[in-house]
């Protein structure tokens, strides 16, 4: 009797763990990772790279570049359009930065002099 109840709750635990694993797997499948610029990386003229792609909030962008030559700055729409770095902007400079997208527009520029003006910037809309 006691043994029967024990194995029944054992099955319940296994079913629970399986469901949890499926849910976690589902989450992983639905959060994508993109290398910005594909094989060219984060570089001049990367501006059109997001065109035609569908991004979701929680997706991760990986920015690969030589950190002595470039950086990645999180900016707002004005910063993106005018290549201006807002006060207190988040600056990434590892050369291999992983940044999660927020819902809505996400703007990134390289703020080394002249780089943003050379189309080293992207605007990514995440749904």
Report the sign of the C-alpha dihedral through residues 57, 40, 66, 78, in that order: negative
Listed ranges 9-17, 20-28, 81-89, 111-119: which one lies at the site for Cu ion (CB under 5 A): 111-119
CB 90 → Cu ion: shortest distance, Å? 16
Which tokens belong to 11? 């099955």
Radius of gyration of the chain (CA): 21
Q: Which of 18, 66 has the CB closer to Cu ion?
A: 66
SS (H, E, C) 2-15: HHHHHHHHHHHHHH
CB 66 → Cu ion: shortest distance, Å? 9
Q: Which of 55, 112 has the CB closer to Cu ion?
A: 112
Report the sign of the C-alpha dihedral through residues 8, 13, 19, 22, in that order: negative
Does 34 bind Cu ion (CB under 5 A)? Our answer is no
Q: Which of 45, 98 has the CB closer to Cu ion?
A: 45
Q: Helix (H, G, I), strand (E, B), or coil: what is residue 102?
A: coil
**Binding positions for Cu ion, 68-87, rule CB under 5 A:** 70
Question: Which residues contact residue 78 at a Cβ distance below 8 angstroms, ignoring those fewer than 6 apart?
Answer: 84, 86
Q: Which of 36, 110 has the CB closer to Cu ion?
A: 110
Does 112 bind Cu ion (CB under 5 A)? Our answer is yes
Does 110 bind Cu ion (CB under 5 A)? Our answer is yes
| Site for Cu ion, rule CB under 5 A | 70, 110, 112, 115, 120
């Amino acid at each position: 009797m006691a043994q029967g109840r024990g194995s029944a709750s054992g099955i319940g635990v296994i079913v629970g763990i399986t469901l949890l694993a499926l849910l976690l797997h589902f989450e992983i499948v639905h959060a994508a990772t993109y290398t910005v610029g594909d094989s060219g990386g984060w570089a001049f003229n990367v501006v059109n790279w997001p065109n035609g792609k569908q991004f979701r909030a929680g997706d991760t962008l990986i920015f690969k570049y030589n950190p002595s030559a470039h950086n990645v700055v999180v900016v707002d729409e004005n910063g993106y359009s005018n290549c201006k770095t807002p006060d207190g902007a988040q600056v990434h400079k590892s050369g291999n930065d992983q940044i999660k997208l927020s819902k809505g527009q996400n703007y990134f520029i390289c703020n080394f002099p002249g780089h943003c003006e050379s189309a080293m910037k992207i605007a990514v809309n995440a749904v």
